[in-house]
Each structure stands twice: as structure tokens, then as C-alpha cells.
Amino acid sequence: MNRKILLTVLALAVVLLATPYIGMVQAGKGQEKLDFLLHMEGTNVPPPEKVWLTDGGTRHVQGLPWEIRGDFYIEIGESGAVEAIPKECLSYFGLMDLMANTKQGWYVITVRETITIYTDGSKTEERGTIEILTQGENPGGNGLMVNGHGTGELEGIKITGRTATEMIPNPSPPPPTLLSIDRIGTVMDWPT
């Protein structure tokens, strides 16, 4: 019986590890893969929706909002042929969930983001949204995996990548620093 359970768990682990690569393998005729960069600078804005501590010392934070306080833009394509979408044509909504145990030295982060893209700076006509799910666990915040899809004109796009972060000075404190976040990867089927 234990052998069957072990084989089932191993098979499930292989499927879960292969999942991020399936979208890349399925790229075929008519599916153009372009470079993708979402850059944003901001900070978490307490309070979260819910916080609790378990007996083992694990702190749970659920629904911690993120606020853009600096640069915010998207770039699609390769150098020389980049579509740049400026901050004026974007709006952002994001929440982070966190489990951390400082005694044992581990954490798990999940971030759900919706970026609305507008046709121009008046923000009256939506082009579509990008829904991004970022997940990862220690060590470090760099390398969190990014998966996304689109709605509206962006229906059918697929984004895969990773996250790079850096603390930067805030030109308009408080707080004294901001977190600079880059979601870096590729996007398939971006409308041209």
C-alpha cells in the first residue's frame, strides 16, 4: 500500500514540475513568442485582509495590497521593435498572500495581480487586462515564477517568466524605500 502512495505522489510531483513548461512546448504555428517585461515600483500598504499566527510559529498574511508609487510600464517585443505601454495607459490591482516561519527560515509567497491596459491616457476605453499569478518560496525573492493570461483584446495571450526585485530609495517618502519589481519572461500571441 505504501508503495502505491509513494508512486502516486512521485507521479503528481513530476506533473506539477512539468506544468510551467507545457505552454512553451505547445508553441506552434501562428504563436509568436515575444519578450515581456512588467516593471513597477511601489510598496505594500497595510493592513492586509487577515493575519494569524499558528502554534508552530508560522505567520500567515492574506490579502496584503500593493500600491504603485514610482515607475510602472510594460514592454513587449525585442530590442528595436518594442511596444512600450506607459504608466498613463495602465492601472494596477494586486494582493499578496504570505506564509513565513522565521524560526525555521522559510516562506511561501503568492501574488495575484490585474493590470488593466487602456487605449490612451484618458483611461476611458479598455484594451484588456493581464491577470498574473506569481508564486515562489525561499531562498530569496528573486526567481518567483510568473504565469499570466489576458482578457479583452488580449484574450489568449500566455505569459511565463520569473521575478527580479530590488530595494530602491523613495523620491517621495514615506516610506524611505520602494520595492522595484520586474516580471521578466515571454508572452505568446500578443496582438500586433
Domain boundaries along the sequence of the chain: 31-188
pLDDT 10s digits, 120-149: 999 999 999 999 999 998 765 555 899 999
Is the per-residue pLDDT at 150 higher than 50? yes
Whether the pTM exceeds 0.85: the reply is: no
Which residue would you say has higher pLDDT here, 155 or 81? 155
Contact 129, 116 (CB under 8 A): yes
Tell me which CATH code domain 31-188 carries. Answer: 2.40.350
Q: Is the dihedral of CA 91, 95, 100, 102 positive or negative?
A: positive
For the chain, percent of residues with pLDDT exceeding 90 = 69
* pLDDT at res. 89: 97
**Whole-number Å distance between alpha carbons of 13 and 124:** 45
Query: To the nearest 10°, the Cα dihedral for 172, 176, 180, 181?
Result: -110
pLDDT 10s digits, 49-67: 999 999 888 999 999 999 9
Single-letter code of the amino acid located at 145: M
Burial of 145 (0-12, 13-18, 19+ CB in 10 A): middle
